[in-house]
């Protein structure tokens, strides 16, 4: 049992997060969730954010966020050019570890990762929708802990099997971040074009995740804190451990990377509704798989996922409160 539940550090993070959720849920106001849009076209998170920016001058913080991202994009091109000029390649050659887990492990892992968080989130609805969102993320992190235990049970050290060690991380991290920021403008453009295409199609499509709409609408500071921590820290760690670390490692065991990358990317996007978010998330998922393949370091994918979510949350909070 000890090997199955190892390692222990994610449980400490879950315990601290649980204390925060319970404390905020008992002291903060309870809210049932985002208000439903009137019949007709559903308002998107982009519309809500645009309304916030139009109703008051754009906050200085929002400009600073865009400036920081712009500088990161520019720096990424410089890093890529220098890497190609100096060593002829962006990434250092690495040996990707072979997964020791099998298809039955994947079936159990998917049931645990997809079903367990929803069950515990439904059980804490009395804390309000914001608390349920946060607890759902915590449930995914707990599920990821069990998955790490499954890897340990198969005779592999998760730190080595998933590339979670920090030693020698610097060069891999710089290259991974450079590739991500270089392609970030393309992901943004794809998101806008995809939403424009959906608007031209018959029928109505939800254009934003419910949690995003809730974060824009809620007036509870405690709920904002819960959702922000869940989105920026908990979700990236849990999802990268499952999708890139466990699932991609398994698919790559049977298929070459050129096939495994799009398969896992599509699965990642399909589990991130609504429809307007699925295509960009598929691309993001495939990009993270590619970077994980080239670096063999899951820590790089986790860092990129954290930054991606942090940018979105920071922009919404800046427009909402500043």
The domain tally of the chain equals 1
Domain extent, residue 153, equals 2-24+44-321
43-to-36, 46, 58, 293 alpha-carbon distances in Å:
9, 8, 20, 38
Distance CA 301, CA 130 (A): 27
Q: Does residue 32 lie within any of the structural domains? A: no
Residue 298: phi and psi, rounded to 5, are: -65, -25
Residue 134 in domain: yes
Q: What is the mean pLDDT of each run of 10 residues along the chain (322 residues)?
A: 47 56 49 43 52 58 86 94 91 92 88 82 62 76 86 90 89 95 93 86 66 76 83 91 94 95 96 86 96 96 95 84 70
Q: Which of 185, 186, 190, 173 is nearest to 301 (CA)?
A: 173
Can you give the pLDDT at residue 96? Answer: 94
Cβ burial, residue 196 (10 Å; 0-12/13-18/19+)? exposed
95 in a domain, yes or no?
yes
At residue 142, the pLDDT reads 84
| Alpha-carbon gap, residue 37 to 201, rounded angstroms | 20
The answer to the question of residue 39 being in a domain is no
d(CA 193, CA 207): 13
Tally of CB atoms within 10 A around 160 = 12
Query: What is the value of pTM for the model shown?
Result: 0.83
Query: Who's near 243: CB < 8 A, 6+ residues apart?
Result: 264, 267, 268, 285, 288
Which string of b and e fits 122-137 if b means at least 16 CB within 10 Å? eebeebbbbbbbbbbb
- 34 inside domain: no
Tokens of 275: 């429809």
Q: Is residue 29 part of a domain?
A: no
Classify residue 266: in a domain, yes or no. Answer: yes
Residue 254 lies in a domain: yes
pLDDT at position 133 is: 74
């Amino acid at each position: 049992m000890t090997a199955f539940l190892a390692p222990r550090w994610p449980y400490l993070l879950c315990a601290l997060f649980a204390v925060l959720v319970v404390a905020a849920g008992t002291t903060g106001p309870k809210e049932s969730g985002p208000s439903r849009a009137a019949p007709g076209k559903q308002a998107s998170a982009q519309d809500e954010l645009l309304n916030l920016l139009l109703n008051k001058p754009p906050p200085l913080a929002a400009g600073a966020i865009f400036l920081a991202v712009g500088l990161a994009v520019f720096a990424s091109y410089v890093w890529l050019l220098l890497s190609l000029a100096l060593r002829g390649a962006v990434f250092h050659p690495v040996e990707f570890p072979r997964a020791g887990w099998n298809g039955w492990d994947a079936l159990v892992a998917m049931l645990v990762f997809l079903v367990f968080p929803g069950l515990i989130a439904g059980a804490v609805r009395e804390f309000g929708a914001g608390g349920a969102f946060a607890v759902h993320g915590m449930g995914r992190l707990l599920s990821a802990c069990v998955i790490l235990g499954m890897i340990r049970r198969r005779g592999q050290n998760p730190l080595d099997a998933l590339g979670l060690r920090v030693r020698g991380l610097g060069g891999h991290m710089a290259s991974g971040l450079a590739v991500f920021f270089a392609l970030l403008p393309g992901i943004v453009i794809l998101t806008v074009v995809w939403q424009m295409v959906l608007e031209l199609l018959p029928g109505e499509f939800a254009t934003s995740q419910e949690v995003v709409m809730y974060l824009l609408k809620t007036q509870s500071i405690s709920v904002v804190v819960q959702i922000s921590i869940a989105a920026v820290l908990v979700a990236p760690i849990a999802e990268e451990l499952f999708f890139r670390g466990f699932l991609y490692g398994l698919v790559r065991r049977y298929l070459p990377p050129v096939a495994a990358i799009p398969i896992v990317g599509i699965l990642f996007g399909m589990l991130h509704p609504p429809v307007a978010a699925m295509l960009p998330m598929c691309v993001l998922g495939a990009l993270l798989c590619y970077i994980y393949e080239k670096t063999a370091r899951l820590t790089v994918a986790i860092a990129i996922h954290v930054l991606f979510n942090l940018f979105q949350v920071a922009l919404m909070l800046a427009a909402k409160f500043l």
